[in-house]
A = this chain, B = another copy of it.
Amino acid sequence: MSDKILFYETDHWDIYLARTQAYLGYCGIYLKRKAKTMSEINPEEWRDFQQLVKKLESALKSSFKATMFNWACLMNMSYRNDPPTPQVHWHFIPRYRNEVKFAGEVFPDTEFGGPADFYREKIVSEEVLKQIIDEIKKHL
């Protein structure tokens, strides 16, 4: 996730909002410490992550009535570099059976019921990004 806004943190994880909001509330969750694989996440970091999962799922239910959530630790893009530059992070992708209207924008999840399309973009203004963050943070 290249273009993103830091808006929240826990002891071990930084939470960013993606600037492209094809899925309303799409976040990237980055381990603060350097780590290249899921195997390297330590027990304390897992415990912290577990709490964060609950918080984020609950917050996105409250803020935008998300239907369900995809969680994925992929790191594919970093393997286009030589040498690769993986850094452990999660994609948190709220999914919506019905389109959502927020801040004057419409967010349709055109792939609902199937895999998210990481190449589909929805560019919104800085003001809309700020409103999305404010709405999520109300519930964190």
Q: How many residues of A contact B (CB 8 A)?
A: 34
Interface contact B74-A73, CB-CB below 8 Å: no
Interface residues of A in 6-41 (CB under 8 A from B): 37-39, 41
Cβ–Cβ contact B68 & A70, under 8 A:
no
Count of identical protomers in the assembly: 2
Known: A76-B113, A79-B112. A37 touches B69 (CB 8 A): yes
Residues A61-91 near B (CB distance < 8 A): 67-77, 79-80, 84, 86
Taking a contact as CB atoms under 8 Å apart, the answer to whether A73 and B70 are in contact is yes
Interface SS majority for chain A:
mixed
Kindly report which residue of chain B lies nearest to residue A67, judged by CB atoms. B79
Check A39–B68 contact: CB distance below 8 A: no
A58 to B39, CA, bound (A): 8
Docked Cα-Cα span, A50 to B30, in Å, equals 17
Asked whether A72 lies within 8 Å of B71 as measured between CB atoms, the reply is: yes
Question: CB-nearest residue of chain B relative to A93?
Answer: B74
Tell me the bound Cα distance from A69 to B71 in angstroms: 14
A58 to chain B minimum Cβ distance, whole angstroms, is 7
